Amino acid sequence: MGVSSGAFYILRKSNLITGKTTLTNPTRIAATFAELKSSGHMAFMPFLTAGDPDIPTTLRLIQEFAGRSVDLIELGFPYSDPIADGPVIQASYTRALNNGLKVHDIFDGVRSLPTDELPPLVAMVSYAIIFRTGNQKFVEQAKTAGFSGFIVPDLPADEAEEFAELVKSIGLDLIQLISPTTPEERAKNILSTASGFVYVISVAGTTGVRDELPPELSGQLQWLRENTDLPLAVGFGISNPDHVDILRGQADGIIVGSAIVRQVEQIGENGDATIESVGQYAQEMVAATRK
């Protein structure tokens, strides 16, 4: 099943209550997770590298994912020295950059979409890119383009407060990452500047498809649950519905990157077929989160 130009995901609007906190003016990300929680569902968030193989294909994939009812979409801004990304995503960044991709190409492309009718878009972007553009300018451009939040993997927690306040002031979210090796006191500091949800890194190391999830992940999720009311979304190594089953009741969402980027790499003369295949994979993962 493909998606026509008008077949977009529509975010339902309602008064939502999550845990202890009533969402009076929630961000789009917070509202999405709250609505899923009220339905007893987990979130599925696929990752795409912007500009791999080109911006038009990226936009088609965003719309394909929207037509398959994914809940959020993470869009990676290619960077020459990525943080924590494994070889599959690193290679996709290199392909995009070698094709001459610029930051304004991403913003212009996303701006051409009806982003208010799409799932929330989250920018995975190096702080070096943001800093070079200017914090205020970058955040404002991202909001105007239609992004709902940011993941900034190389922004240290003890330097994130000012940027987090800037992001919050214009109604967007700064999603923070917590790894298995993050000390508890540092994790609490990171959580203090987080909003939207917490990106829980399942394993120490870089992104990539893995057969199994580490047994200590359950303890990590339990500790986080005791220390924040924010939704917990697990990434790194997630690739199939069995992983969703393992995390059911422990996490609020799952993030899949390398397994999708590896499929996108095959786009060539059979572009339509590959996009269809990626969409079918996304639909299977969405179905797994709805059980």
Q: CB 250: neighbour CB atoms within 10 A?
A: 17
What's the token pair of residue 59?
A: 């936009």
- The kind and range of the H/E element at 64 are helix 55-67
Does residue 74 carry a catalytic annotation? Answer: yes
Interhelix angle 184-192/217-227, rounded to 10 degrees, is 50
Whether cis (ω within 30° of 0) applies to the bond prior to 53 is: yes
Residue type for position 193? T
Are the beta carbons of 228 and 198 closer than 8 angstroms?
yes
Q: CA 30 to CA 97: how far, in whole Å?
A: 32
The CA-CA-CA angle for residues 244, 35, 106, to 5°, reads 75
Are the beta carbons of 177 and 199 closer than 8 angstroms?
yes
* Residue 157: DSSP 8-state: G
For the chain, the straight-line distance linking the first and the last C-alpha, in angstroms and rounded, comes to 21
Among residues 85, 105, 140, 158, the one annotated as catalytic is 85
Q: CB 143: neighbour CB atoms within 10 A?
A: 15
Among residues 52, 71, 74, 252, the one annotated as catalytic is 74
Q: CA 179 to CA 204: how far, in whole Å?
A: 7
Region of residue 84 (left: phi > 0; alpha: psi -120 to 50; beta: else): left
Active site residues: 74, 85
